[in-house]
Amino acid sequence: MLIADQHVVAIDYTLTNEAGEVIDSSAGSEPLVYLHGASNIIPGLENALTGKAVGDELEVTVEPEEAYGEYSAELITVLGREMFEGVDQLEVGMQFHASGPDGGMQIVTIRDIDGDQITIDGNHPLAGQQLNFKVKVANIRAASAEEVAHGHVHGEGGHQH
């Protein structure tokens, strides 16, 4: 069986940045399981995996536009502390859900605190970075009708309802 849309795929992977530093890895844990064709993983990696079989190993370099996008200075803003009502202690690195420019939810990260001025960043932490993956395909199976309808994997390695 080859990887194609509406298939559940399990991969072992290591993700490094341009400097070769490990950002994330499945080593020592379960493989990453996702529904192919449902935008569960970044487009550049999903495209590279299309047509691969169990046991295939590949190295993939994904440019920002096929990963988390270019870094955008427009997504950095300064807010007053009053916007964080109910949060007793703010710290650099804290993340919050906020309404994005398109009306959807996005995660913002506190980048700086200067008195009552809080600088937040709506960019994904990996925005603007070239990502390098070493991947081995561990398993492929046809997705269930329910998984396809929900847009994600159910059961072992996936979402539980």
Domain count, the chain: 2
Q: What 8-state DSSP symbol labels residue 150?
A: H
Instruction: Look up residue 159 and give its amino acid.
Output: H
* pLDDT at 102 (0 to 100): 73
Domain that holds residue 96: 73-121
Residue 26 belongs to domain with CATH number: 3.10.50.40
Q: Check residue 104 and give its pLDDT.
A: 78
Query: Does one domain contain both 51 and 91?
Result: no
- Supply the pLDDT for residue 106: 86
- The 10s digit of each residue's pLDDT in 30-85 is 999 999 999 999 999 999 999 999 999 999 999 999 999 999 999 999 999 999 98
Q: Is the pLDDT of residue 103 over 80?
A: no
Task: Say how far apart CA 32 and CA 158 lie, in whole Å.
Answer: 9
Cα atoms in the 13 Å half-sphere on the side-chain side of 161: 7
- Say whether both 32 and 110 belong to one domain: no
**What is the 8-class DSSP label of residue 144?**
P
Same domain as 133, residue 55:
yes
Residues 6 or more apart from 51 whose CB is under 8 A from it? 2, 3, 4
Mark 88-111 as b/e (b = at least 16 C-beta within 10 Å).
Answer: eeeeeeeeeeeeeeeeeeeebbbe
Dist CA 147 CA 138 (whole Å): 19
Q: Region 127-135: what's the mean pLDDT? A: 97
CATH classification of the domain holding 95: 2.40.10.330
Secondary structure (3-state) at 149: helix
Q: What is the pLDDT of residue 108?
A: 94
- Model confidence at 161: pLDDT above 70: no
Q: Are 23 and 126 in contact (CB under 8 A)?
A: yes
d(CA 120, CA 116) in angstroms, rounded, equals 13
Query: Are residues 113 and 60 part of one domain?
Result: no
**Percent of the chain beyond pLDDT 70?**
96
Give me the pLDDT at residue 98, please: 85
